Structure 1
Amino acid sequence: MIPFGVIYADFKRLWGGALVLIILIACAIAFSMVVNLQERALREGSARAADRFDLVIGAAGSETQLVLSTVFLQPSLLPLLDGKVLSELQHNPLVEWAAPLAFGDSYMGMPVIGTDDHLIADRLSTSDKVFQSDHDAIVGGASGLAIGDKIIPIHGQIGAEGAHQHNEASYTVTKVLPLSHDAWDKAILVPIKSVWDLHHVVHKEGDTHDEQFGAISAIIVKPKSIAGAYQLRTQYRGGESQAVFPGEVLVRLYGTLGDARQILSWVATGTQFLVVVAILMVVVIHLEQRKRQLGALRAFGAPQRGVISLVWCGLMLIMTIGMALGVLIGYLATLWISANITTRYGMALPVEIKQQDLLMIAIMWGVLAVILLVPALLTYRYSPAQALRG
Structure 2
Amino acid sequence: MGDVWAGLPILVQDIAVLLALLVPLGVLAGLLWRGYAPGRLVRALLWRFRWANTMFVALIAVSVGMGIGLLAQERGLRQGTAQAASKFDLVVSAPGSEMTMLLATVFLQPSDVGLIGGAAYAEIAGHENVEIAAPLAFGDSIGTASVVGTTAEFATFLSDGAIEGRLWNAPFEAVAGAAVPLEIGARAEPAHGHGDAAEEGAHAAEFTIVGRMAPTGTPWDRAVLVPVEAVWELHGLANGHAPGRADQLGPPFDADFFPGTPAIIVRATELWANYALRSEFTRDGETMAFFSGTVLANLYRVMGDVRQAMSLMSVVSQVLVASSVLLGLFILTRLFQRQVAMLRALGAPIRFVVAVVWSYAAALLAAGTALGLGVGLAAAAVLSRVVTARTDIVVSATLGWAELHLAAAFLTATALVALLPALAVLRQPVASGLRA
TM-score over 0.5 for the pair: yes
Match of residue 45 from structure 1: 80
- CA–CA distance in structure 1, aligned partners of residues 362 and 158 of structure 2: 54
- CA–CA distance in structure 2, aligned partners of residues 319 and 292 of structure 1: 23
Aligned counterpart for 2:191 among listed residues 143, 154, 158? 154
1:102-133 residue CA offsets vs partner (Å, 9 max, x unmatched): 1111112011100112202324556x994200
Match of residue 218 from structure 1: 263
Aligned counterpart for 2:201 among listed residues 160, 165, 171? 165
Q: Which amino acid aligns with 1:138?
A: V
- CA–CA distance in structure 2, aligned partners of residues 305 and 232 of structure 1: 73
- CA–CA distance in structure 2, aligned partners of residues 321 and 61 of structure 1: 54
Match of residue 68 from structure 1: 103
Bigger Cα displacement from structure 2, 251-260 vs 164-173: 164-173
Matches within 5 A, 1:1-390: 1=36, 3=38, 6-11=41-46, 13-14=48-49, 17-123=52-158, 130-160=167-197, 163-206=199-242, 210-237=255-282, 238-388=284-434
- CA–CA distance in structure 1, aligned partners of residues 149 and 204 of structure 2: 16
| TM-score normalised according to structure 2 size | 0.83
- CA–CA distance in structure 1, aligned partners of residues 408 and 372 of structure 2: 13
- CA–CA distance in structure 1, aligned partners of residues 378 and 119 of structure 2: 50
Query: Does the CA-based 8 Å contact 1:152-1:166 persist in structure 2?
Result: no
Query: Does the CA-based 8 Å contact 1:31-1:330 persist in structure 2?
Result: yes
Query: Does the CA-based 8 Å contact 1:134-1:194 persist in structure 2?
Result: yes
Offset, 1:82 = 2.3
Unpaired segments ≥5 residues, structure 1: none
Offset, 1:14 = 4.2
Query: Does the CA-based 8 Å contact 1:316-1:369 persist in structure 2?
Result: yes
- CA–CA distance in structure 2, aligned partners of residues 310 and 50 of structure 1: 56
Query: Does the CA-based 8 Å contact 2:93-2:264 persist in structure 1?
Result: yes
- CA–CA distance in structure 2, aligned partners of residues 287 and 357 of structure 1: 30
Offset, 1:81 = 2.6
- CA–CA distance in structure 2, aligned partners of residues 257 and 336 of structure 1: 21
- CA–CA distance in structure 1, aligned partners of residues 407 and 232 of structure 2: 57
Query: Does the CA-based 8 Å contact 1:110-1:187 persist in structure 2?
Result: yes
| RMSD value, Cα | 2.3
Unpaired segments ≥5 residues, structure 2: 1-35, 243-251
SS across alignment from 2:396: coil
1:310-368 residue CA offsets vs partner (Å, 9 max, x unmatched): 11111111112221232222221221111111112211112111234224322322222
Q: Which amino acid aligns with 2:304?
A: G
Relative distance call for 1:125 and 1:16 in structure 2 (3 A) is: closer
Offset, 1:260 = 1.0
Relative distance call for 1:125 and 1:281 in structure 2 (3 A) is: closer
SS across alignment from 1:321: helix
Offset, 1:218 = 1.0
Q: Which amino acid aligns with 1:222?
A: R
Offset, 1:3 = 4.9
- CA–CA distance in structure 2, aligned partners of residues 208 and 24 of structure 1: 65
Offset, 1:203 = 4.5
SS across alignment from 2:91: strand
- CA–CA distance in structure 2, aligned partners of residues 287 and 89 of structure 1: 75
Relative distance call for 1:328 and 1:168 in structure 2 (3 A) is: same
- CA–CA distance in structure 2, aligned partners of residues 211 and 4 of structure 1: 87
- CA–CA distance in structure 1, aligned partners of residues 98 and 318 of structure 2: 38
Relative distance call for 1:145 and 1:208 in structure 2 (3 A) is: closer
SS across alignment from 1:159: helix
1:258-297 residue CA offsets vs partner (Å, 9 max, x unmatched): 1111111111110111111111112112223322221112
Query: Taking every aligned residue pair, what percent have the same amino acid on both sides?
Result: 33
Match of residue 23 from structure 2: none
Instruction: Count matched residues.
Output: 388
Relative distance call for 1:20 and 1:271 in structure 2 (3 A) is: farther
- CA–CA distance in structure 2, aligned partners of residues 149 and 26 of structure 1: 50
Offset, 1:139 = 1.2
Q: Which amino acid aligns with 1:249?
A: V
| TM-score normalised according to structure 1 size | 0.92
Q: Which amino acid aligns with 2:375?
A: I
1:205-227 residue CA offsets vs partner (Å, 9 max, x unmatched): 14797543112121101111233
Offset, 1:389 = 5.0
- CA–CA distance in structure 2, aligned partners of residues 288 and 100 of structure 1: 73
